[in-house]
Chains A and B, each alone.
Chain A
């Protein structure tokens, strides 16, 4: 009797179709991939005709941004907090001093937790990136209702 044929222990799997499928997926995704994510920062702007009586009573932080990065903060509708009526934060190397701004905003939030509205008044020569940096920083500190005043 001829010796028994040994049973093959290896199994075959045809991966060619799978590789083709993966190649097509990769080509499609490479063509449609987004390498840089662009988003948008929401800013509110008052439109004529909107009732403003309720908003007048809410405390609002007004920030004047100068061209060199100096910030002047004024608190409106909160006369009891006199130390925030006028706060000046000098610039740091041509940009806003975010460490000092953080201290002021955190102190304000501690004294007045309900405040979340701020209006930014940039000067005409202020740069867009500085304005965006200040707005982004204020949003991070909890001022979600941001407005920007036109000249």
Chain B
């Protein structure tokens, strides 16, 4: 029978929190602990706010555009979310359909191929084949007109112009 619990009460195995407690400290009063106490409440608040902010900013668009460093997209207010579609990119004097560089003469043919692949990938027949044109804001319209015409010839009725949200 443990009649005398004094040794147990005076045990050094006490909780750091209990030792630092000002209301009812256990063990010796103001016991010096080897480890420094760290207030983590504000850290958790900061982490929670960061997580909430990043979750709100998450984007779930179906189409991801790779924009070159030298390309500056124009900005606009009335823009819609990107959806999966054929991407036609203008970088300098080069034109790309997807990731493949094409010449002006081969553009319509390549767009027709892309349209065929798009129709195969989509489970539902699209009412209007969409395409997105990505170009630097300083591009002159003579270059874009060629692409717009090629898209019309290839049967793309819906043309989207990539822009940054203002």
**Interface residues in chain A, defined as those with a beta carbon under 8 Å from any beta carbon in chain B:** 2, 5-10, 12, 15, 18-19, 22-23, 25-26, 29-30, 32-48, 50, 122-129, 131-133, 135-136, 139-140, 148, 150-151
Q: How many A-B residue pairs have CB under 8 A?
A: 169
Q: Could you jot down 15 A-B contacts, CB within 8 Å?
A: A10-B21, A19-B44, A39-B79, A39-B80, A39-B164, A40-B132, A41-B78, A123-B141, A125-B140, A127-B140, A128-B137, A129-B74, A132-B75, A132-B161, A136-B78
- Whether A151 pairs with B141 at a CB distance below 8 angstroms is yes
The count of residues in chain B whose C-beta lies closer than 8 Å to any C-beta of chain A is 61
- Whether A32 pairs with B141 at a CB distance below 8 angstroms is no
- Whether A37 pairs with B165 at a CB distance below 8 angstroms is yes
**Please, which residues of chain B bring their CB within 8 A of the CB of A8?**
18, 21, 24, 26
- Whether B82 pairs with A40 at a CB distance below 8 angstroms is yes
**Please, which residues of chain B bring their CB within 8 A of the CB of A43?**
159-161
For residue B47, CB closer than 8 A to chain A, the reply is: yes
Q: How far does the alpha carbon of A45 sit from the alpha carbon of B57 in the complex, in Å?
A: 33
**Please, which residues of chain B bring their CB within 8 A of the CB of A128?**
74, 135-141, 144
